[in-house]
C-alpha cells in the first residue's frame, strides 16, 4: 500500500467525521462523536507513521477499513468491545497465564489491534 493510499484513507476518515450524525440525533452527542473520530484517527495515524514494513502497513489499513465499516454499519464510532472472560479460553493441561494472554491476543479481532496501544 502506497503513501497516497494511506493518506487517502486518512482523508476518508476525516470526511466521515465531518459528516457524522449521532444515532441519538442530539447535537451534543454528534459533536462528541465527531471529536472522538477525529482524535482517534490522528492518534492512530501518528502512532503508526514510522511503520515501513508492507505487511504491517497492510494490517493497519485493514484495521482502519474494518473500523470504518463497523462504525458506519452500527452508527457507532467507538470500537466494539471484545467479550472474553480473563481465563475464558480453553488451554491444554499445564498451561498458565502466559498461554492465556497469548491466546487472547490471537483471538483479538482485527478492528481492535491498535486499541490497547492508545
Q: Let me know whether 49 and 99 are in one domain.
A: no
The CB-side HSE value for 97 (13 A sphere, CA atoms) comes to 1
Q: What pLDDT, on the 0 to 100 scale, is given for residue 73? A: 92
Q: Let me know whether 37 and 91 are in one domain.
A: no
Q: What pLDDT, on the 0 to 100 scale, is given for residue 113? A: 66
Q: What pLDDT, on the 0 to 100 scale, is given for residue 93? A: 58
Characterize 75-93 residue by residue with b for buried, 16 or more Cβ atoms within 10 angstroms of its Cβ, and e for exposed: eebebeeeeeeeeebeeee
Rounded Cα distance between 27 and 31, Å, is 6
Is residue 117 situated within a structural domain? no
Task: Count up the domains in the chain and report the number.
Answer: 2
Rounded Cα distance between 77 and 73, Å, is 10
Per-residue pLDDT of the chain (118 residues; tens, 9 = 90+): 789 999 999 999 999 999 999 999 999 999 999 999 999 999 999 999 999 999 999 999 999 999 999 999 999 998 776 655 555 555 555 556 666 667 666 666 666 667 655 4
Using a cut of 0.85, tell me whether the model's pTM lies above it.
no
Is residue 29 situated within a structural domain? yes
Is residue 103 situated within a structural domain? yes
Rounded Cα distance between 27 and 21, Å, is 8
Residue 21: CB atoms within 10 Å: 13
Rounded Cα distance between 67 and 64, Å, is 5
Q: What pLDDT, on the 0 to 100 scale, is given for residue 118? A: 43
Q: Let me know whether 50 and 87 are in one domain.
A: no
Q: What pLDDT, on the 0 to 100 scale, is given for residue 78? A: 87
Q: Let me know whether 95 and 42 are in one domain.
A: no
Amino acid at each position: 500500500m502506497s503513501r497516497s493510499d494511506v493518506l487517502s484513507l486518512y482523508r476518508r476518515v476525516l470526511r466521515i467525521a465531518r459528516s457524522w450524525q449521532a444515532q441519538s440525533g442530539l447535537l451534543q452527542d454528534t459533536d462528541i462523536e465527531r471529536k472522538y473520530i477525529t482524535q482517534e484517527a490522528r492518534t492512530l495515524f501518528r502512532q503508526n507513521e514510522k511503520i515501513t514494513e508492507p505487511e504491517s502497513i497492510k494490517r493497519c489499513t485493514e484495521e482502519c477499513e474494518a473500523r470504518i465499516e463497523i462504525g458506519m454499519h452500527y452508527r457507532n464510532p467507538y470500537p466494539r468491545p471484545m467479550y472474553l472472560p480473563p481465563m475464558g479460553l480453553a488451554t491444554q493441561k499445564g498451561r498458565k497465564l502466559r498461554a492465556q494472554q497469548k491466546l487472547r491476543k490471537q483471538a483479538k479481532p482485527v478492528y481492535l489491534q491498535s486499541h490497547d496501544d492508545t
